[in-house]
Amino acid sequence: MKFICLTLLFVSGFTDSRSEQYEVLGPADPVFAVAGEDVILPCFIKPSISVVDMRVEWFRLDRKDSVHLYEDHDDRNTDQIQSYRGRTKLILQELQRGNASLKLSTVQISDEGSYRCFVQSESCFGDATVVVSVEAVGRPPVITVDGFDRSGGLHLQCESAGWYPEPDLEWLDSEGVSLSSETTETHRNTDGFSVKHTIIVYKSNNEIHCRVKLRHHMLETLINTTTVNVTLDAASAHPCLIVSDDGKQVRDGNREVDRVDRGKYRFNAYRGVLGKDGFSSRSFYFEVQVKDQTVWDLGVARESSNRSGRLGLSPMKGYWTVRRFNKRYWALENKSVPLSLRVEPQRIGVFVDYDESFVSFYDVKSMSHIYSYTDQSFNEKLYPCVGLGYRCNYNSTPLIICDE
């Protein structure tokens, strides 16, 4: 803050007249603003005399260019910095009370910096500096499964973008204890900072939280890494299938059936079977051993999905699966997508994030991603689903639900 005044002395008898004197005051601390919101840059005259008849100008110290100019009772912003057009305002009623504060609308990251409030009358002028610090709140963090390793570890990746300044990202277990990231990546562009961290967790960790935070803001998401205990429901199985007593294995009985119960719950043409339990929140994971079996489908099915006749497995029909047939692999989208796998999977992991609406498949042994269904629409329970095709499967190797 500084001020300079010229004192005018007129002698007429004993009369002494002096011009007004004032100080221009700004905040002692930085002003914090949130990108996309409005902010007030404080500037006051002491004593609180009207500045309606004065010149008030705001400008950026780093650019020496005008942000807002008020002069001769009007705004005169022909030389205003282009990026501030339509976003600055002085309030006439406040000018009458000595308040020259600037309202800045729809704050941008580029607005961060030092500003000067300059006030000038006919015989006096002064100024004050206002430091503006901008924070941009990014998008909610998203957790995805990035693979597995031979020690049984689940590789999780958390990513969030659109932050400013650079935020802190941390992993927490279900008890709030901080976990160390395996790898970290940070990038900056015109939209701010993006952060990406990965971590390896194990089945005993259960709930894992990813938290991104700045000084005044925090966003958090969580994932449940529990490996669910899947048991196959023999009551849903096609009559040709043989489900083990413990519900952990299914194979084709290599026989034809003349009469098939066409009840709503049981598969009667497709040789499939569902898990006993369905899931309708958070996330879950299970593994199926497919080693030495040459024809199979596996994934999840919607509770209300049709099980009668030839199904045409697809998300439209309530099935999210991958298939092996004739030594080739497909993701059974509404239009099947061929998959190029480097090796034949022996054990496949199925990860479902119900809340984020995606289903992902992984080759557990090679620790590689196979396919993901993203941006789906889940509004009812999802059940684990495995199948052995439509025709009699003479390969007696079972599909096995893995507990470990």
Measure the CA–CA gap between 386 and 274, rounded to whole angstroms: 7
- Are 79 and 209 found together in one domain? no
Q: Is the pLDDT of residue 196 over 70?
A: yes
Asked, for residue 39, whether it belongs to a domain, the answer is yes
Asked, for residue 229, whether it belongs to a domain, the answer is no
Domain boundary residue, one of 181, 205, 224: 224
- Are 238 and 374 found together in one domain? yes
Give 135's pLDDT tier (boundaries 50, 70, 90): very high
- Are 318 and 219 found together in one domain? no
364 versus 179: the higher-pLDDT residue is 179
Measure the CA–CA gap between 221 and 142, rounded to whole angstroms: 7
Domain boundary residue, one of 166, 189, 224: 224
Asked, for residue 47, whether it belongs to a domain, the answer is yes
pLDDT in tens, 359-396: 989 888 877 789 999 889 899 999 999 999 988 888 89
- By the 10 Å C-beta count (0-12 exposed, 13-18 middle, 19+ buried), 83 is classed as exposed
CATH of the domain at 67: 2.60.40.10
Strand ordering across the sheet containing 399-402? 241-243, 249-252, 399-402, 283-289, 347-353, 358-363, 368-373
- Transcribe 102-164 into DSSP letters: EEE-S--GGG-EEEEEEEE-SSEEEEEEEEEEEEB--PPPEEEEEEE-TTS-EEEEEEEEEEB
Q: Is the pLDDT of residue 333 over 50?
A: yes
Question: Which structural domain, as residue segments, surrounds residue 271?
Answer: 234-402
95, containing H or E segment? helix 92-95
pLDDT of residue 293: 95
Domain boundary residue, one of 194, 224, 254: 224
Find the length of the chain.
404
Q: Which residue has the tokens 């196959």?
A: 232
Q: Amino acid letter at 398?
A: P
Asked, for residue 7, whether it belongs to a domain, the answer is yes
3-state secondary structure of 360: strand
CATH of the domain at 260: 2.60.120.920
pLDDT in tens, 206-244: 788 999 999 889 999 988 776 888 999 999 999 999 999
pTM of the model: 0.62
Asked, for residue 212, whether it belongs to a domain, the answer is yes
- Are 359 and 245 found together in one domain? yes
Measure the CA–CA gap between 67 and 79, rounded to whole angstroms: 8
Number of domains observed in the structure of the chain: 3
pLDDT in tens, 310-323: 888 999 999 999 99
